[in-house]
């Protein structure tokens, strides 16, 4: 990792430290993604098939395309069939099945308790205003499975979608070299009720082409109302572009993983190093930052990083991520929180004595982990919170996935004649001030009738 002293940097150098690695590639990524999305929109399933063959090395049956056989499923098709679900469940170790079931239950417990509730209030005598909640009808979930399949993401998306009551849920995940989907991802999807009923389904499609297929409807998938899920920079850019075009909504920018750790002199350097590596191993475009006022701790963490890398299976990936990451010396914890709030990390670990006492200083972060005994990995898997979180600084203005992400809130007004008499003059006066005569008359005509 790069070692810097924050107070020895000028403004441009500070900005460079907080720049995500993918930002330098943005123009190329933007152009390529736009071309791929346009191709899928124009040619549908055939384009999806070609990109799947090119990027995943798998050639699926063309019968899935353009509605010709959208219900067809099986090893040679994009859509996962019942036999594939059964085979996946049977082939998983019992311990892994139990862990998925346990995590699903804990995630459901946390998200169920946080669900919004409808409410109604009388804002005047005879005027009742309400807020009701409705599930989004058709949602598309993206579960990465490139260098590391993520069954946990299927749970993080599938559980709140089920709690929200979404009618149709489709899930896309990249195929393996033999054309199958990752068994653990399938088991997790089935645990959420995805792909096991008449509606929705699981599809073996990855990358930009998966986002395009869910947004526009291709390769047997329906066009979805909203897309969810994390991914690499290409997937994140695809989500951004389809939402900008008005075709579909998205949950948030949820791109390459990132963590920022604020640690004091009492932090365990081995724990801190492990937390940094847990995010660095996601991919070469991940970014990790450590902020501390203690130079000796930075030294010890650097040593621990190198020692742990020696036995890390994904060391090569982690080293590439670390090359774009930083160990940052700050003058105080106050300055560390200022930097963190400016960066707005996806994950924020407070490796501090009495970490909770510092929580009030956090203004922008996707998810916070307090103290030495709360590794970020617990949030990734089974603490109960959601790991689909805003990245690239989006934590300044949006939140991680919850049940509310899969719902829309609709307001309702019911007005009795006495209610119109009570508040109508107010509306008429405001309409006149704005010069909107038809608005004013819509009220005054009723006032006259109610008199």
* Contact of 257 with 357, CB cutoff 8 Å: no
Q: Got the DSSP string for 101-137?
A: HHHHHHHHHHHHHT----EEEEEETTEEEEEEEEE-S
Three-state DSSP at 171 gives: strand
What is d(CA 126, CA 84) in angstroms, rounded to the nearest whole number? 58
347 is in an annotated binding site: yes
Contact present, 346 and 257 (Cβ < 8 Å): yes
What is the rounded distance in angstroms from the CA atom of residue 396 to the CA atom of residue 378? 23
Given 326, 347, 358, 387, the catalytic residue: 347
Q: What residue has token string 């699926």?
A: 60
Which entry of 237, 258, 346, 376 is annotated as an active-site residue? 346
Known binding residue 142? Answer is yes
| DSSP annotation of 59 | -
Annotation marks residue 347 as catalytic: yes
**Whole-number Å distance between alpha carbons of 438 and 339:** 52
CA atoms within 13 A on the CB side of 185: 25
User: Beta strands 127-135 and 326-329: pairing type?
Assistant: unpaired
The DSSP code sequence of 341-359 is HHH--SEEEEESTTGGGGG
**Alpha-carbon distance values, 154 to 84, 194, 228, 277 (Å):** 17, 9, 10, 23
Q: Where are the beta strands (DSSP E) in 222-306?
A: 226-228, 249-250, 258-263, 287-292
Q: Does residue 361 have a known ligand-binding role?
A: no
- Nearest CA-CA partner of 80 in 163, 166, 189, 5: 189
Is 268 annotated among the ligand-binding residues?
no
DSSP E strand boundaries for 136-277:
138-142, 168-172, 201-203, 226-228, 249-250, 258-263
Q: Which H or E element spans position 373?
A: none
> Is 387 marked as binding a ligand?
no
Cα 102 to Cα 152: distance, rounded to the nearest angstrom: 11
Q: Specify whether 346 is catalytic.
A: yes
Q: Tell me if 119 is assigned to a ligand binding site.
A: no
Instruction: Show the CA angle centred on residue 112, arms to residues 239 and 341, nearest 5°.
Output: 55
State the binding site for NAD(+). Answer: 142, 209, 232
State the binding site for substrate. Answer: 257, 279, 282, 347, 380, 434, 439
State the binding site. Answer: 142, 209, 232, 257, 279, 282, 347, 380, 434, 439
State the binding site for Zn(2+). Answer: 279, 282, 380, 439
Residues tagged active-site? 346-347
């Amino acid at each position: 990792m790069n070692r810097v002293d924050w107070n020895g940097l000028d403004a441009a150098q500070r900005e460079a430290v907080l720049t995500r690695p993918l930002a330098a590639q943005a123009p190329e990524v933007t152009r390529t993604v736009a071309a791929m999305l346009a191709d899928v929109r124009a040619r549908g399933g055939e384009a999806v098939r070609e990109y799947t063959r090119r990027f995943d090395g798998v050639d699926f049956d063309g019968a899935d395309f353009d509605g010709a056989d959208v219900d067809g499923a099986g090893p040679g098709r994009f859509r996962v069939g019942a036999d594939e679900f059964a085979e996946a469940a049977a082939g998983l170790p019992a311990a892994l099945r139990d862990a998925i079931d346990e995590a699903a239950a804990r995630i459901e417990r946390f998200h169920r308790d946080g669900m919004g509730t409808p409410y109604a209030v009388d804002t005047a005598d005879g005027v009742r205003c309400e807020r009701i909640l409705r599930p989004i009808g058709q949602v598309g979930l993206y579960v990465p499975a490139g260098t590391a399949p993520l069954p946990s993401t299927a749970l993080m998306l599938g559980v709140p979608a089920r709690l929200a009551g979404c009618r149709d849920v489709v899930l896309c995940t990249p195929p393996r070299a033999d054309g199958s989907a990752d068994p653990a991802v399938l088991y997790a999807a089935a645990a959420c009720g995805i792909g096991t009923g008449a509606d929705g389904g699981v599809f073996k499609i990855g990358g930009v082409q998966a986002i395009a297929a869910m947004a526009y409807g291709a390769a047997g998938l329906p066009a979805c109302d909203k897309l969810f899920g994390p991914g690499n920079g290409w997937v994140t850019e695809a989500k951004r572009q389809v939402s900008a075009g008005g075709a579909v909504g998205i949950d948030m920018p949820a791109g390459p993983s990132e963590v920022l750790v604020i640690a004091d002199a009492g932090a365990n350097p081995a724990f801190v190093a492990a937390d940094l590596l847990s995010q660095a191993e996601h991919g070469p475009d991940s970014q990790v930052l450590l902020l501390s006022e203690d130079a000796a701790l930075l030294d010890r963490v650097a040593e621990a990083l190198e020692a742990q890398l020696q036995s890390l299976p994904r060391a090569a990936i982690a080293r590439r991520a670390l090359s774009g990451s930083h160990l940052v010396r700050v003058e105080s914890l106050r300055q560390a929180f200022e930097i963190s709030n400016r960066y707005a990390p996806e994950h924020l670990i407070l490796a501090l004595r009495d970490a909770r006492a510092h929580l009030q200083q956090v203004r922008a972060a996707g998810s916070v982990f307090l103290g030495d005994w709360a590794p970020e990995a617990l949030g990734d898997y089974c603490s109960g919170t959601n790991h689909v979180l805003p990245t690239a600084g989006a934590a300044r203005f949006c939140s991680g996935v919850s049940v509310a992400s899969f719902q829309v809130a609709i307001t309702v007004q019911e007005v009795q004649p006495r209610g119109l008499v009570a508040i109508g003059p107010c509306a008429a006066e405001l309409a006149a001030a704005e010069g909107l005569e038809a608005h004013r008359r819509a009220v005054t005509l009723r006032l006259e009738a109610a008199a």
